[in-house]
Structure 1
């Protein structure tokens, strides 16, 4: 009986996590980062989302030690379904990389 209840609990948690973080209609692909200075990096990325739905994408920059030196939420407008974005991310130190963390529906 305890094993069955534990199994149901684990299954419930797995379903909840899948619904929160599993497959979504929002995808982001970093194509490049460039123009790196002591206080910025330019990120180029492509967002695929449901047509007619704006998105919010999280981008960040890291320094040589791996610490985060910049983070922002970038709003991607409604149409079209696939959008190429260029975003200048301000940083608090010299970045060595730029990353896209993910996208979600704008609330």
Structure 2
């Protein structure tokens, strides 16, 4: 085969080397848009949790108990929840813990809990709330 015929055969039957430049750019843009959408969705879910709790106050009742007064905002108020409240001593150590049930119903509920402690506490706080 002559060189001209060989070049013609290669040109006719050769496969292209892959995606065109325009296709690669379009694929890259689509990937960036998809990643942006996923990150935005996750961020919005984390920014507006379905359940939040705020401590309204606490009172050290004795050397072995703390009263915690807190508000629960349940955006999915059709489901019950459980909030964990705890007491800490002067060194920051946990000296008491209690799981408080939050009944389904109103979106905003004000609750109180008395935490029994192993030693004198100086604070009471809501550690976490979870839908049940």
TM range (shorter): 0.7 to 0.9
Contact map agreement 1:36 1:95 (CA 8 A) in 2: no
Structure 2: where are the runs of 5+ without partners? 1-34
- The corresponding residue for 1:48 is 73
1:76 Cα offset (Å): 0.5
Q: Give 3-state SS (helix, strand or coil) of 1:47's partner.
A: strand
Q: Does 1:70 align with 2:64?
A: no
Q: Structure 1 segments of 4 or more deviating over 6 A?
A: none
Q: Does 1:83 align with 2:83?
A: no
Q: When you count helix as a share of all residues, which structure comes out higher?
A: 2
Q: Does 1:38 align with 2:63?
A: yes
Distance in 1 separating the partners of 2:83 and 2:126: 7
- Bigger relative contact order, structure 1 or 2, given CA contacts below 8 A and separation 6+? 1
Q: Taking structure 1 as reference, are residues 46 and 26 closer, same or farther at Cα in structure 2, changes over 3 Å only?
A: same
Count of residues in Structure 1 that have an aligned counterpart in Structure 2: 90
Distance in 2 separating the partners of 1:96 and 1:48: 26
CA shift digits 1:42-77 (9 cap, x unpaired)? 000000111211111011000011110001111101
RMSD: 2.0
Between Structure 1 and Structure 2, whose CA radius of gyration is higher?
A: 2
